[in-house]
Amino acid sequence: MAEIKQVLVPDIGDYKDVSIIEVMVKAGDTINAEDNLVTLETDKAAMDVPSPYAGVVKEMKVKVGDKVSQGSLILLMESSETGVPQKSQPVAAAAPVVAPVSASVAAKPVAAPTVVQTSQPVAATGGSAHASPAIRRFARELGVQLAQVRGSGEKGRVTKDDVQNFVKAALAQPRGGAGGSGLQVLAMPVVDFAKFGAIETKPLSRIKKISGANLHRNWVTIPHITQFDEADITEMEVFRKELNVEYAKQNIKITPLAFMIKAVVVALQQFPEFNASLDNSGENLVLKQYFHIGVAVDTPNGLMVPVLRDVDKKGIVQLAKELGEISAKARELKITAAEMQGGCFSISSLGGIGGTAFTPIINAPELAILGVSKAIIKPMHQDDTFVARLMLPLSLSYDHRVIDGAAAARFIVFLSQVLADTRRLAL
Ligand code: CAO
């Protein structure tokens, strides 16, 4: 008949107040005898505590970070096994619902904890990773070299999730051909930063996690080239300032970005292969007949790219208004997923902050992205003399699988000409 049994910390030598660094089971789990329950860590060793019985976990009595000694209650288990007493002393009256402990201890000798020497976190691959014996065994079974797995646990410890994620990532890698072109890179070094000074660990925001994974994929899988140019926006600025005075009453602020969004669409109309995506086979170009432009917005939670739709059908003032609205919505986290989909080309403007140029990452499945930096007044040589002109730095990153360098140079030169003479926006 099934009984509630106490599972205690067995004989762990002279150690006392040892930290629990991993809990492998939870209430409701069905486990076999010898399955590992928790991992303990002393300053010298990590040890797994296996279950003396098969059964169902009724209640956990410990969590990660708790300190335990021999005889501490780990959990209550419903089990019909009879066994021999655990070598550890039961903790008196520790559990609210406890069957007679004497009846629960007749099955089998308590499995001794599995011990592994804790290694120092390694600063390079090839060293030994920081992981419990159970995780080492799990990794071994899957053929994973632990030194290649980045540990997300305390002090860089490798957890079961880390091993599983490593395997998932490996399976998701494109298969290499005969020559083996699958991406093989060294694992990141696992560093215990606390060894070098005080630290604080802060989880990444949800948006950063999502955008980070996308940026990583795009950076690794798309052959990027970035083409630079400068547009003379001296006249455009005069016009923009006039417009700003005119529309201040309507509370519409027109920044250089509104002109850029419109100018990009004029360039896309001239160079249709920039307004396209590769299809899933990677063998066909899907040319779009609509003009939706994504704009990177810096929010306290991370980067978001809302999309302005049908830019070809809108004027500068309307675009400035929509840009203000959509970027405010992004910052207030009110933007919907649909409002971030369907872009043809993106613009990332750091012009309001500064910097001379940067290399933006393409927002796949788009084929190109325009980076905009801060316009500054520069001496430009014109008609045998130097004149002061307001020059806007542009950085065009493009997918070299589809777009040739010459086409990219033509695109950015054309774009600069449109910005230099805003009458071309109307053509
Ligand atoms: N050169 C000089 N001045 C510029 C400029 C440029 N290229 N672009 C903007 N400015 C000026 C604006 O005119 C404005 O000046 P005033 O306040 O005097 O009128 C000021 O800089 C601030 O502009 P802004 O940044 O608020 O507005 P914006 O329309 O240029 O940009 C937005 C809006 C949402 C794109 C921007 O706020 C933002 O979030 N930028 C960051 C995008 C980002 O993080 N990109 C990196 C992604 S990683 O690839």
372 lines ligand 1 (CB under 6 A): yes
- For 228-238, the pLDDT digits (tens) are 999 999 999 99
Would strands 3-8 and 276-278 be described as parallel, antiparallel, or unpaired? unpaired
- Rounded to the nearest whole angstrom, what is the distance from the C-alpha of residue 357 to the centroid of ligand 1? 14
Q: Are 240 and 419 in contact (CB under 8 A)?
A: no
Catalytic residue among 216, 224, 292, 400: 400
H or E segment to which residue 139 belongs: helix 133-142
Does residue 275 carry a pLDDT above 60?
yes
Average pLDDT, the chain: 85
Tally of CB atoms within 10 A around 57: 21
For the CA of 352, the nearest atom of ligand 1: 21
Instruction: Provide the residue ranges of all domains of the chain, joining segments of one domain with +.
Output: 224-426
Residue with tokens 């980067």: 303
- For 51-105, the pLDDT digits (tens) are 988 999 999 999 988 999 999 999 999 988 765 455 443 322 222 222 222 333 3
Task: Please give the average per-residue pLDDT across 300-315, as a whole number.
Answer: 95
Task: Please give the average per-residue pLDDT across 21-34, as a whole number.
Answer: 89
392 lines ligand 1 (CB under 6 A): yes
Atom 19 (ligand 1) nearest CA: 255
374 lines ligand 1 (CB under 6 A): yes
pLDDT of residue 94: 26
293 lines ligand 1 (CB under 6 A): no
- Rounded to the nearest whole angstrom, what is the distance from the C-alpha of residue 350 to the centroid of ligand 1? 6
- For 109-145, the pLDDT digits (tens) are 333 444 333 332 222 233 456 787 788 888 888 888 8
User: Ligand 1, from 208, 219, 244, 257: best to mutate by most atoms within 8 Å of Cβ?
Assistant: 257
- Rounded to the nearest whole angstrom, what is the distance from the C-alpha of residue 173 to the centroid of ligand 1? 37
pLDDT of residue 174: 56
Does residue 379 carry a pLDDT above 60?
yes
Predicted confidence band at 375 (pLDDT cuts at 50, 70, 90)? very high
Pick the range with the lowest mean pLDDT from 16-20, 91-95, 148-152, 156-160: 91-95
H or E segment to which residue 77 belongs: strand 73-79
303 lines ligand 1 (CB under 6 A): yes
User: Ligand 1, from 326, 349, 374: best to mutate by most atoms within 8 Å of Cβ?
Assistant: 349
Q: Which CATH class is domain 224-426?
A: alpha beta
Q: Which of 224, 322, 226, 308 is nearest to 264 (CA)?
A: 308
pLDDT of residue 97: 22
Answer whether the bond into residue 85 is a cis peptide, omega within 30°. no
Active site residue 400: yes
Q: What is the pTM of this model?
A: 0.65
pLDDT of residue 180: 53
pLDDT of residue 71: 92
Would strands 293-295 and 345-349 be described as parallel, antiparallel, or unpaired? parallel
